[in-house]
Amino acid sequence: MSGDGLKTFPEWVVCEHCDSVYQRVALANGQVARCERCLALLYRASSLDTERWLALTIAAAIMFMIANLCPVVRISLQGLHNEATLWQSAAALAHGPAAPIAVPAALSIIVVPFLQIALLGWILVFARRKRRAPGFATAMRMLVVLRPWSMVEVCMLGLLVAIIKLSSFMEVAPGPGIWAMAVLMILITIIANRDIHWLWEMVEVEPPQPESQA
């Protein structure tokens, strides 16, 4: 199928954690396949079809917008008020001696979740028509690399800790952004923390990138 002449074994699966080779078997809903050697998760049954997956990704995109545009926390102290958005929080680190850490902070709570949602949306819009999106391979590889750096749930816990910390000496109220953040946390777990390998097989019916034959 590819010009390399390398033999491929699409019906096999190799455990990422110990290199054990298995024959792929179809799973019933909710079942998971575990490695016999190291007990790591091999793959799970996909209970989500492309249509619903895309719908949840669009919902996540909307929640992401609300979480980023609206303030997440509001405080008041002796008649003075202040509020902060996610972006302002990351930017607050940029002032002072710890400035470089603002970059990974902004990446982990804003940029990486945004890319995950955008790339998945892009892939799924085409996949639901059984087509391979332009840049499909790059997007799929990026999703694998991005996953460990997405920290929406850590940010959510950080918001709760910050609220408790400040509430001892001032009035603190959750902003609308925090509710969107909570929903986003659940949605991003559903859409991005799943086995995406099967998308490769599903959209492989189409000949891969005809323009590369030039």
Could you say whether residue 37 binds Zn ion (CB under 5 A)?
A: yes
Could you say whether residue 211 binds another protein (CB under 8 A)?
A: no
Backbone phi, psi, residue 77, to 5°: -140, 115
Among 72, 19, 99, which residue's Cα sits nearest to residue 184? Answer: 72
Cβ of residue 58: shortest distance to another protein, in angstroms?
25
Q: How many other CB atoms are there within 10 angstroms of residue 193's CB atom?
A: 11
Cβ of residue 186: shortest distance to another protein, in angstroms?
17
Q: Are 61 and 117 in contact (CB under 8 A)?
A: yes
Could you say whether residue 141 binds Zn ion (CB under 5 A)?
A: no
Instruction: CB nearer to Zn ion: give 18 or 92.
Output: 18
Could you say whether residue 129 binds another protein (CB under 8 A)?
A: no
Q: Are 73 and 84 in contact (CB under 8 A)?
A: yes
* Residue length of the chain: 214
User: Which does residue 148 touch among Zn ion, another protein, none (CB within 5 to 8 A, set by kind)?
Assistant: another protein
Report the residue from 26, 28, 29, 169 that binds another protein according to the rule CB under 8 A: 169
Could you say whether residue 15 binds Zn ion (CB under 5 A)?
A: yes
Cβ of residue 55: shortest distance to another protein, in angstroms?
25
Q: Are 43 and 197 in contact (CB under 8 A)?
A: yes
Give the relative orientation of helices 176-192 and 152-166 as an angle to the nearest 10 degrees: 150
Report the residue from 14, 25, 32, 38 that binds Zn ion according to the rule CB under 5 A: 38
DSSP for 157-207 reads HHHHHHHHHHTTTSEEEE-HHHHHHHHHHHHHHHHHSS--HHHHHHGGGSP
Could you say whether residue 164 binds another protein (CB under 8 A)?
A: yes
**Residue 146 in 3-state DSSP?**
helix
Report the residue from 57, 68, 108, 116 that binds another protein according to the rule CB under 8 A: 108
Could you say whether residue 84 binds Zn ion (CB under 5 A)?
A: no
User: Which does residue 202 touch among Zn ion, another protein, none (CB within 5 to 8 A, set by kind)?
Assistant: none
Query: Mask: binding to another protein, 29-48, rule CB under 8 A, as x and -?
Result: -------xxxxx--------
Could you say whether residue 197 binds Zn ion (CB under 5 A)?
A: no
Instruction: CB nearer to another protein: give 51 or 193.
Output: 193
In whole angstroms, what is the distance from residue 32 CA to residue 16 CA? 15
